[in-house]
Structure 1
Amino acid sequence: MAKPDDRSDNVEKLQSMVQNTIENLEEAHETMQNQSLSSEQKQNIKEKNKRREESIRGMRNEIKDEYADQHSSH
C-alpha cells in the first residue's frame, strides 16, 4: 500500500535545502579566491554558482507556494 502524501514538512525541508545551497554558494565564492585555480576551474565554479542561484530562486518560489497551500486549506 502506498504511503499517504505527507506534505506537512515540505516548507521546512525546502528551507533547509535553500540554506545548504547558500552555504555551498558561499564556500564556492571562497574557493574562487584561491590563486592556484585555473581559469577553467574558475569558470566551472561560476557556472555551478549560477545554477545554484537559479535553484535557490526556484526553491523559494516553491516555499511560497507550499506555505500558501498549507494556510489556505486550514
Structure 2
Amino acid sequence: MYNKADDRRNNVDRIQHNISNTIQNIHRADEMIEETDDEKMKKTLSDKNERREEALNAMRSEIKDEAIDKQNGYR
C-alpha cells in the first residue's frame, strides 16, 4: 500500500478557514441565545460555544506550530 506524503502546504489556510467558520458559528449561537426564551436551548448553545472556544484555542495553537515548523524548514 502506498503511503501518501505528508503535504502540509495548505494547513495554515485550512486551519484559518476552520477558525473563521467556528467564529461565525459562535456569533450565530450568541444571536440565537439573545433571541430565545428557551432556557434549555440557551444552555445547549452556551455549552456548544464553550467547546467552540476550546477548539479555537487549539486551532490557533496549531497555526503557531505550523509557523514554527515552517521556520525550521519543514515544508
Q: Given the two structures, how large is their TM-score scaled by the length of structure 1?
A: 0.91
Q: 1:70: how far off?
A: 1.0
Q: Which residue of 2 aligns with 1:49?
A: 49
Alpha-carbon distance in structure 2 between the residues aligned to 1:21 and 1:27: 10
Q: 1:2: how far off?
A: 1.8
Sequence identity (%): 38
Alpha-carbon distance in structure 2 between the residues aligned to 1:16 and 1:67: 16
Structure 2 regions of 5+ residues with no counterpart? none
Structure 1 regions of 5+ residues with no counterpart? none
Q: Which amino acid aligns with 1:15?
A: Q
Q: Which residue of 2 aligns with 1:30?
A: 31
Q: Given the two structures, how large is their TM-score scaled by the length of structure 2?
A: 0.90
Q: 1:65: how far off?
A: 0.3
Q: Which residue of 2 aligns with 1:66?
A: 66
RMSD of aligned residue pairs (Cα, Å): 1.2
